[in-house]
């Protein structure tokens, strides 16, 4: 039996015509991951994640798009990443060409970064040292 799960986002039916949510298929319990392929002019609904205390990171892989956070428009180009706190209202507004995002979310109340003081909860980066 494998200790990992593998899916292809293309096999997952998109929500709102663009968002392929991977977490359920991967059986992830702590991290939300979605692949978003935005057609020209696509927009999602403004929303926040205050109720479930999820922070998000949006990574733009292809194209260009605008992300509106608390009424501030941020122009993104391929390679850009932004962090969004749970209470902030956010919306993707795609431009005239297709774009592709990876969205990652996780509970904000648990520190899992390399800079956490609690060594047990710290995110391990040692496996990436060459």
What is the reported pTM? 0.83
H helices of the chain, in order, are 23-26
Question: Residue 129 has what pLDDT?
Answer: 46
Going 126 to 101 to 89 to 27, the CA torsion angle's sign is negative
Write down the pLDDT at residue 123: 44
CA dist 99 and 77 (Å) reads 9
Predicted local distance difference test score (pLDDT) of residue 98: 96
- Name which of 94, 57, 55 is nearest 77 in CA terms: 94
Low-confidence ranges of the chain (pLDDT < 70): 110-130
76: which DSSP letter? E
Q: What is the CATH number of domain 14-124?
A: 2.60.120.10
pLDDT score, position 109: 74
Q: Can you state the percent helix, strand and coil of the chain, rounding each to 5?
A: 10, 40, 50
């Amino acid at each position: 039996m494998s200790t990992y799960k593998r899916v292809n986002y293309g096999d997952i039916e998109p929500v709102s015509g663009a968002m392929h949510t991977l977490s359920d298929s991967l059986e992830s319990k702590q991290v939300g991951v979605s692949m978003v392929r935005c057609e020209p002019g696509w927009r999602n609904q403004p929303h926040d994640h205050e109720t479930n205390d999820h922070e998000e990171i949006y990574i733009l892989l292809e194209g260009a798009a605008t992300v509106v956070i608390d009424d501030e428009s941020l122009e993104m180009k391929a390679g850009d990443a932004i962090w969004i706190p749970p209470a902030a209202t956010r919306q993707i507004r795609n431009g005239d060409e297709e774009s592709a995002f990876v969205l990652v979310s996780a509970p904000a109340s648990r520190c899992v970064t390399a800079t956490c003081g609690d060594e047990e909860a710290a995110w391990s980066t040692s496996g990436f040292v060459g």
